[in-house]
Amino acid sequence: MQAVLLAGGLGTRLKSVVNDRPKPMADVCGKPFMEYLILELKKHGITDIVLAVGYKGEMVEEYFGNGEQLDVHIEYSYEKEQLGTAGAIKNAGQYIKESEFFVLNADTFYQAAYSDAIDLYKSENMDMALVLRKVPDVSRYGSVKLDNHMIIGFNEKVSDHISGVINGGIYLMRKTVLDLIPEGKKCSLENEIIPQMLAEKKKLGAVVNEGYFIDIGVPDDYFKFIKDVEQKNIEF
């Protein structure tokens, strides 16, 4: 199965500590953050990877090449301008060879059960299956509402510091979802396409996983991931 990694963002909130490279290339114990993510995908048999790059994308390609050093196959989808998460997926569509594929945020590391998402997607004939994460405080992220395993509310802002489930940044989607995304325009998967799909009664489901999860969008979490790798708190 293929995976598209969204690695084209500017990483504005992390620039105080990582200002010379794309956020997914942030150094973690001598390796870029995204290498740990690719190794996690490989563990689950996902070895055909498209890197959707923009800002300093050449640095990404120079490091990873065609992926052979990691025993995976990598292709590159370049954005000439910022296209947002959905726009980047649309731009990468030319490299998608299968009828369904994974999409991941390349600044998030999540040790999730990919097979659970695949099983749900296939058994319920989903248009999209997401992997969610339980967190003690949803206010930073926006919450996801479920009715059993079906999504009924997405990316809803919550000001209260309460526990709940959030988007884990792992999506398994039909290739036909690309038809919903405008060509060459900035578009958000989270704030535009998924709400549109829910409004159109598309089948969006989710599994909730409790594996190791971190989003390095802010310095504190970036340093936490470095510490966890150094102390071998994560199994690769």
Domain for residue 110, yes or no?
Answer: yes
Q: What is the pTM of this model?
A: 0.93
Domain for residue 236, yes or no?
Answer: no
Confidence of residue 11 (pLDDT cuts 50, 70, 90): low
The pLDDT value recorded for residue 116 is 95
Beta bridge partner(s), residue 215:
108
Per-residue pLDDT tens over the stretch 94-132: 999 999 999 999 999 999 989 999 999 999 999 999 999
The pLDDT value recorded for residue 21 is 83
Q: Helices 57-64 & 33-43, crossing angle to 10 degrees?
A: 50
Domain for residue 197, yes or no?
Answer: yes
Has 134 been annotated as catalytic? no
Contacts of 76 by beta carbon, 8 Å cutoff, 6+ apart: 50, 51, 53, 57, 60, 61
Tell me which of 13-27, 92-106, 122-136, 166-180 is least confident. Answer: 13-27
The pLDDT value recorded for residue 13 is 64
Mean pLDDT in residue range 15-44 = 90
- For 112-124, give the DSSP string: --HHHHHHHHHHT
Query: Which is more confident, 170 or 8?
Result: 170
Helix, strand and coil percent figures for the chain, each rounded to 5: 35, 30, 35
Confidence of residue 179 (pLDDT cuts 50, 70, 90): very high
The pLDDT value recorded for residue 123 is 96
Domain for residue 75, yes or no?
Answer: yes
Q: Helices 219-230 & 33-43, crossing angle to 10 degrees?
A: 60
User: Would the pLDDT of 40 be above 80?
Assistant: yes
Contact 9, 55 (CB under 8 A): yes
Tokens 């526990």: give the residue.
163
- Number of structural domains in the chain: 1
The pLDDT value recorded for residue 161 is 82
Domain for residue 120, yes or no?
Answer: yes
Contact 170, 102 (CB under 8 A): yes
What is the domain extent for residue 147? 2-230
Q: How far apart are the first and last CA of the chain?
A: 20
Domain for residue 220, yes or no?
Answer: yes
Cα 139 from Cα 157, distance rounded (Å): 7
Average model confidence (pLDDT) across the chain: 92
Q: What is the 3-state secondary structure (H, E, C) of 46-110?
A: CCEEEEEECCCHHHHHHHHCCCHHHCCEEEEEECCCCCHHHHHHHHHHHHCCCCEEEEEECCEEE
Cα 223 from Cα 215, distance rounded (Å): 11
Confidence of residue 39 (pLDDT cuts 50, 70, 90): very high
Surface-to-core class of residue 169, CB atoms within 10 Å of its CB (0-12 exposed, 13-18 middle, 19+ buried) = buried
Domain for residue 235, yes or no?
Answer: no
Radius of gyration from C-alpha coordinates of the chain = 17
Element at 8 (helix H, strand E): none
Q: Which is the catalytic residue, given 157, 201, 202, 227?
A: 157
Domain for residue 145, yes or no?
Answer: yes
Tell me which of 12-21, 49-58, 174-183 is least confident. Answer: 12-21
Give the CATH number for residue 45: 3.90.550.10
User: Would the pLDDT of 159 be above 90?
Assistant: no
